[in-house]
Amino acid sequence: MTSEPDATKLKRIKRYDIIRLIGEGGMGRVYLANDKIIRRPVAIKVFTIMSTPGSETTKEKLMRDFFLETQTAGALLHPNIVVIYDVGKKGDLFYMVMEFVYGRTVLEHQRTSPFSMKKSVEIIYELALALDYAHSKGVVHRDIKPENIIMSAQGIPKITDFGIARFRKHLKGHRRHAVVGSSRFMAPEQVLRREQDHRVDIYQLGVVLFELLTRQSPFKGIDSESTLSKICTEVPPPPGRINPEIPEQLDRIVSKCLEKNPNKRYPRAKDLADDLAACLKAGIHTLISPDDELVENLKKFELFSLFSEEEISELVKVGEFVTCHAGQYIIRENETDSNFFVLLEGNVKVVKQSRILTGFLPGAVFGEVGAFARQQRSAGVVAQGDCKLLQINALLFKELDPLLQLKMLHIVLRNIASLVISLDGELMQLTDGKGRSAALPLVCPLCGFNNKAPIEICPRCGVIPAKYPEPLMVKEKIVTKTISDDEETQEYLPLDLP
């Protein structure tokens, strides 16, 4: 009789070679593995499903239900949902093979580097759209919490663990403290074991938003039982009472998510996303009321000449008109922000480390590269006088008509192409015309050492090549020798290099 595989000593599962353990919790262990056939890294969650003593649910039925549930969840393809590639069984062990996301969970971020209010709203906005997609396919998560949300290295939030929340109580090794850890995210109908639907996810997403905004739980009990009691009986405080910087608009959104009665919550996750989008339209700049003149200005600019009046109107609806005064930063260097701008009136300058790089005139679109790439801004933009701008959050592009999205992306690509051409010209000035850096040569100008990569400090002779723009061509050193009291000679000897 062969022994069952030990989840703690796995080396391989089918075609997946286990590399290392990357996570462990109440719902099993997670390994980083390599798919030998497709040659890609994957994450494998491994666990054991057991029937509960005294329950009429047999192990065979649990297995069938598990494969059916994960089959449905595995069909989900969304940028904010971790993809399920494969599921299977090895002895008593069940496994789920998923997309490997390089990043950290929202829980880890909360502990070390909490998100700003704006970033928190952006995260929940994207997750609400992801849940709306899953719900449209008949899939409910039932266990939305910070541990099940991963932030990728590119700053994209992704929901994981679709398809297994229903089987939590049947997982071998499922510990009591794991239940306590999730109890504060349970919806009242889950606590009371009443009928549940997709609105459980909306409630749980509201709890996550509350914690991101306040760094506190809406229901704080001394133990699991008291927390569950508070969930069913107490009305949580508005987040604005804990953090005065939170606007009333967000207070109302969170309160609607956390309604005890599911019928009083948002009927769809898309409705929640729509309200969050309204919050994202507002930024740190002073809002001004849109008027016909500002809209007409957009139509006059060359970049928007191909836009119809209806498309201009739709674009204006997902943005906000803002104003900035002389010397005010519109974009700050090194910040991460998802807004980009169309300059309607006034002039701005682009600065990096207090040095002016260039400027923009009305009609220019700027900030789009950092907004779409979700990367830190490489430079700042400062108003040179009073300016009026259209501010658009890149995340809200999903709200636009697909054809309008394509036209806006055409503008973005045109700007990027212009930037690349400009940078290419600067690069040619810094190189020998063949892409080799003049400031950091491949070959040391002193000793001739070929590093096959740009040299900052030569590893052989220790010279700094950037200080010698012209090759010194010194291959020898001069040594003076005394022959007699009144006679000397010089010899040229090879450099004694390490």
Residue 2 lies in a domain: no
- Look at residues 403, 428, 453 and tell me which one is the last residue of a structural domain: 428
* 251 and 379 fall within a common domain: no
* Per-residue pLDDT at 28: 76
CA-derived radius of gyration, the chain: 30
As a whole number of angstroms, the distance between CA 377 and CA 441 comes to 29
Residues 239, 264 within the same domain: yes
Does residue 181 sit in helix, strand or coil?
helix
Rounded to the nearest integer, the mean pLDDT of the chain is 79
Average the pLDDT over 296-319 and give the result: 82
pLDDT higher than threshold 70 for residue 88? yes
Q: What is the CATH number of the domain that holds 305?
A: 2.60.120.10
* SS3 labels along 417-465: HHHHHHHHHHHHHHECCCCCECCCCCECCCCCCECCCCCCCCCCCCCCH
**How many angstroms separate the CA atoms of 40 and 33, rounded?**
9
Nearest alpha-carbon partner for 381 in 322, 430, 423: 322
The tens digit of pLDDT for each residue in 258-289 reads: 999 999 999 999 999 999 988 887 665 666 77
And the tokens for 302?
A: 């060359």
| Residue 492 domain-assigned (yes or no) | yes
Domain shared by 208 and 225, yes or no? yes
Q: Which of 35, 143, 201, 337 is catalytic?
A: 143
Q: Is residue 209 part of a domain?
A: yes
**Three-state secondary-structure class, residue 218:** coil
Structural contact between residues 299 and 344, judged by C-beta atoms closer than 8 angstroms:
no
Instruction: State the Cα–Cα distance between residues 138 and 71, nearest whole angstrom.
Output: 12
CATH number at residue 79: 1.10.510.10
Counted domains in the chain: 3
Least confident of 61-70, 114-123, 355-364: 61-70
Query: Which of 428, 447, 479 is a domain's end point?
Result: 428
Containing H/E element for 37?
none
Give the residue carrying structure tokens 């262990």: 29
Same domain, 228 and 301: no
147 occurs within a structural domain: yes
User: Based on the domain organization, do 128 and 168 belong to the same domain?
Assistant: yes
Same domain, 408 and 478: no
129 and 70 in contact (C-beta within 8 Å)? no
Q: Are residues 351 and 497 in the same domain?
A: no
Residues 40, 162 share a domain: yes
Please spell the DSSP secondary structure of 16-29, one letter per residue.
EEEEEEEEEETTEE
CA distances from 163 to 111, 174, 180, 355, 424 (A): 27, 17, 21, 53, 49
Question: What is the model's pLDDT at position 480?
Answer: 46
Among 69, 71, 210, residue whose Cα is nearest residue 146: 210
- In degrees, rounded to 5, the angle at the alpha carbon of residue 453 between the alpha carbons of residues 449 and 454 is 85
Range of the domain at 65: 7-281
Among 251, 281, 311, give the residue marking a domain's end: 281
Q: What is the rounded CA–CA span in Å between residue 324 and residue 307?
A: 26
- Give the model's confidence band at 174: pLDDT under 50 very low, under 70 low, under 90 confident, else very high: very low
Place of tokens 């200005």: 297
Per-residue confidence (pLDDT) for residue 55, from 0 to 100: 54
Q: Tell whether 302 and 231 lie within a shared domain.
A: no
Q: Which two tokens stand for residue 447?
A: 């000793």
Residue 1 lies in a domain: no
So what's the pLDDT on residue 254?
Answer: 97
Q: Does residue 266 lie within any of the structural domains?
A: yes
Tens digits of per-residue pLDDT, 194-253? 998 999 999 999 999 999 999 999 998 888 888 899 999 999 999 999 999 899 999 999
485 is catalytic: no
- Annotated binding-site residues for ATP read 45
pLDDT at 265: 97
* Res. 302 pLDDT band, cuts 50 70 90: confident
Q: Are residues 273 and 311 in the same domain?
A: no
* Co-location of 473 and 424 in the same domain: no
Compute the average pLDDT of residues 173-178.
Answer: 41
404 in any annotated domain? yes
